Structure 1
Amino acid sequence: MDDQLVLAVTTTLASKGAEALVSGARSATGTLVRLVRGRFCSGTREGDALTAAMAHPDDRSLQAALASFLASEMSRDPTFDAAVRAAWHRLSNQIDNSSRHNVVNNFNGTAERVVQARDIKGDVVF
């Protein structure tokens, strides 16, 4: 089991999980949260650990408990392991692109027109 991956996923779930759920985002973070929430049902020890870690993102002991459950489940189920790794890969690529000042456009919802741009020089007329 890749401990660094489990810790990174756990930290992301704790720090960004609640935000992704509230916003209903179809982001890579939202995908990761939905994947783990789908596995860790509410009312179970695992589900309670996920809920607690998301409610108290600075509590390292809650993150450690969640990491333990996540690592155990990933070791037990290769399909879940592969799904978590794929979701993390998409999320980390999104983070890498953002940190290199590349453009990452995300749009959710409905609109008649949407304009997304970066580094415009000169006039823009609509």
Structure 2
Amino acid sequence: MPEPILISISAALAAKTIVGLVDLVRRKFAKDPAATAALEAAQAAPEDPKAVQALAEHLDTTEKSDENFATALRSEWEKASVSQQAKSGKVVNQISGDVSGKVVQAGDIHGDISF
């Protein structure tokens, strides 16, 4: 099972929101048809949790076999994470570090939230 951060990275890759991250992964996956197919499937259906999970699993395997890639991937993610900005009418939600407990990520909330 991939780390939660890899799920987040995969979701960003699927949505193509971080160009440098997409380019890094695309280059790394270029010689791996299964990984490339997972990236393309996630990008074709970024709302599909199974596609995002499959991509995260490929990232996990690739990170474990290539320490340099793992370092580059985390570095690119860190750069993007600290510089995210919401465009007009959009929302950026960010959670980092060791998180436990309940979290809500949302744009506008009208009314109460309860767990």
- Once the two structures are superposed, the pairs formed by residues 1-126 of structure 1 within 5 Å of their partners are 3-15=3-15, 17=16, 29-41=18-30, 44-95=33-84, 98=85
Count how many residue pairs are aligned between Structure 1 and Structure 2: 86
Percent identity between the two aligned chains: 30
Structure 1: tracts of 5 or more residues without a match: 21-28, 100-126
User: Which structure: greater helix fraction?
Assistant: 1
Contact preservation (8 Å) 2:26, 2:36: yes
Deviation at 1:4, TM superposition (A): 2.0
With over 3 angstroms needed to count, the CA separation of the structure-2 counterparts of 1:2 and 1:45, relative to structure 1, is closer
**What is the RMSD computed on CA atoms of the aligned residues?**
2.0
Contact preservation (8 Å) 1:42, 1:48: no
Q: Deviations over 1:89-121 (max 9, x none)?
A: 0000112xx36xxxxxxxxxxxxxxxxxxxxxx
Deviation at 1:46, TM superposition (A): 0.3
Deviation at 1:50, TM superposition (A): 0.1
| TM norm structure 1 | 0.63
Structure 2: tracts of 5 or more residues without a match: 87-115
| TM norm structure 2 | 0.69
The structure with more radius of gyration: 1
Deviation at 1:65, TM superposition (A): 0.8
Q: Deviations over 1:46-89 (max 9, x none)?
A: 00000010011111111111110001101111000000000000
- Look up the equivalent residue of 1:38 and give its one-letter code: R
